Amino acid sequence: MAGTASDIPIKRRRMDDTDSIFTDFPGNIKRQLAIKLHDLCDTHGPALESLKFNNCNASDDNGGIAFSDAYCSVTPMKNKLFFGAIFVDGLIMISKFLEQGTVPGSKSERHVLAKLLDYIVDIGNEEVWHGRLDIIVNQDIGVSAVECDNTESLGGKTSAEVSTGLERNQQIIAQTVVFSFLQKQNQPLSKHFLFPCFGIEGTSLVIYFYDSEYDVLLQSSVIPLLVPGTSKSHPKVNLTAILVSWLAVNCKYLSSGLQETLKYKDETAGFFLQAKDKIKIYEKELKSGDVGVLVHSVSEAEDSYEVSPHGLNEARRRLYEVVWRRMEDS
């Protein structure tokens, strides 16, 4: 049986204007990408934890509440997820490219992969003018900037070690929940309704996800936007932050949705119960103006994690092969 377009290596496909980024992408950078993506499949990368509502003012008797006045008391549930557990589709897609040079057959997936590779390779030449272009976030993504109350200098610490207002942030949680319901209302035929909202404070990033079909709320661990450079250089952009942002921004194409173990009743966030008096408003009567933002900047024990979905293990294996094959070749 002939392979599908998604299984055909680029050298056997007709070239188009964007294909040079796939054929010319440096092998040494492939290995760096594979290492960071492999981290998203195990405990070395950022984690996701499920949050449960204790109480909130989502259906206050006195009327609507602005996001800035939202009250959400949440507690983390027992188990954690690897960040890659909800992006199996995207990780398999990019791992096939890194391992075999296979380019996605889907035009949309090919476009988002090319965007990532273009960004990482920069433009220009390091000996003359060069640099990264601005990142534009799609109209499907929510971004919330949190005002930093910590005036202390990082003093050599990573941003993840400095206390932030990003974790269990009431305003961002409220925005994430509403945004998911709005997307479900506007895109009822989506393959899943797990949508992200970014929280940014100083040099730290947290990504929240809420699924308005299964009532599951997830929060990533704090991800530093910068990592220390060499002793003589300024901090550098954290490649892990770039990769998780790329996955989340393109969740429409790359997210596999919730893994099955999170769809059980005892894993829900309890928002439906909290908002029961006004849940129909969240489900059918939300409104939006100009939703979307342009952005111009960019050790736990393993047995505490949920069982990895099968596809994540495939992506992990492919990425492992890329890492070790390139180490042997170098």
Q: What is the pLDDT of residues 222-251, one digit of tens each?
A: 999 988 877 667 788 899 999 999 999 899
Pick 267 or 114 by higher pLDDT: 114
Are 93 and 247 spatial neighbours (Cβ–Cβ below 8 Å)?
no
Q: 211 vs 261, which has greater pLDDT? A: 211
pLDDT digits (tens, 9 = 90+) for 271-285: 999 989 888 888 888
Share of residues in the chain with pLDDT > 70 (%): 74
Residue 131 amino acid letter: G
Nearest Cα to Cα of residue 177 among 220, 219, 221: 219
Chain centre to alpha carbon of residue 274: 27
pLDDT for 248 equals: 93
Tokens of 316: 């992990």
Residue 131 pLDDT exceeds 90: no
Would you state the pLDDT for residue 216?
95
How much is the pTM?
A: 0.77
Whether the per-residue pLDDT at 297 is higher than 80: the answer is no
Q: Of 16 and 190, which is predicted with more confidence?
A: 190
pLDDT bracket for residue 158 (50, 70, 90): very low
* Residues 56 and 42: beta-carbon distance below 8 Å: no
Whole-angstrom Cα distance, residue 165 to residue 8? 46
Q: What is the pLDDT of residue 146?
A: 61
Q: Whole-number mean pLDDT of the chain?
A: 78
Gap between the Cα atoms of 177 and 297, Å rounded: 25
More confident residue, 169 or 299: 169
Query: Does the structure show a pLDDT above 90 at 207?
Result: yes
pLDDT higher than threshold 80 for residue 41: yes
Beta carbons of 180 and 212 less than 8 angstroms apart = yes
* Alpha-carbon distances of 100 from 23, 29, 86, 119, 153, rounded to whole Å: 11, 15, 23, 21, 45
Judge whether residue 268 has pLDDT over 60.
yes
List, for residues 59-107, the tens digit of each pLDDT value: 988 888 888 888 999 999 988 899 999 999 999 999 999 999 999 998 9
Q: Which residue has the higher pLDDT, 166 or 206?
A: 206
pLDDT of residue 115: 87
Where is mean pLDDT largest: 9-13, 117-121, 252-256? 252-256
Question: pLDDT for 304-324, tens place per residue?
Answer: 677 778 789 899 899 988 887
Predicted confidence band of residue 289 (pLDDT cuts 50, 70, 90) = low
Contact at 8 Å (CB) between 218 and 248? no
| Residues β-bridged to residue 237 | 226
CA dist., res. 173 & res. 34, Å (int)? 31
25 pLDDT band (50/70/90 cuts)?
A: confident
**HSE, side-chain direction, 13 A CA sphere, residue 327:** 9
pLDDT recorded at residue 19: 77
270 confidence band (pLDDT: 50, 70, 90): very high
The full set of domain ranges for the chain reads 5-298+300-329
Which residue matches tokens 């049986």?
Answer: 1
Among 315, 257, 324, which Cα is nearest to 42's? 315
206: pLDDT confidence band, cut at 50, 70 and 90?
very high
- Per-residue pLDDT averaged across 107-114, rounded? 92
SS3 labels along the chain: CCCCHHHCEHHHCCCCCCCHHHHCCCHHHHHHHHHHHHHCCCCCCCEEEEEEEEEECCCCCCCCCCHHHCCEEEEEEEEEEEHHHHCHHHHHHHHHHHHHCECCCCHHHHHHHHHHHHHHHCEECCCCCEECCCCCCCCCCEEEECCCCCCCCCCCCCHHHCCCCCCCCHHHHHHHHHHHHHHHHHCCCCCCCEEEEEEEECCEEEEEEEECCCCEEEEECCEECEECCCCCCCCEECHHHHHHHHHHHCHHHHCCCCCHHHHCHHHCCCHHHHCHHHHHHHHHCCCCCCCCCCCCCCCCCHHHECCCCHHHHHHHHHHHHHHHHHHHHC
Q: Is the pLDDT of residue 40 over 90?
A: yes
Task: Inform me whether the pLDDT recorded for 159 exceeds 80.
Answer: no
CA distance 195 to 86: 11
For residue 3 the two structure tokens come to 């392979």
The dihedral built from the CA positions of residue 312, 318, 322 and 324, taken in this order, carries a sign that is positive
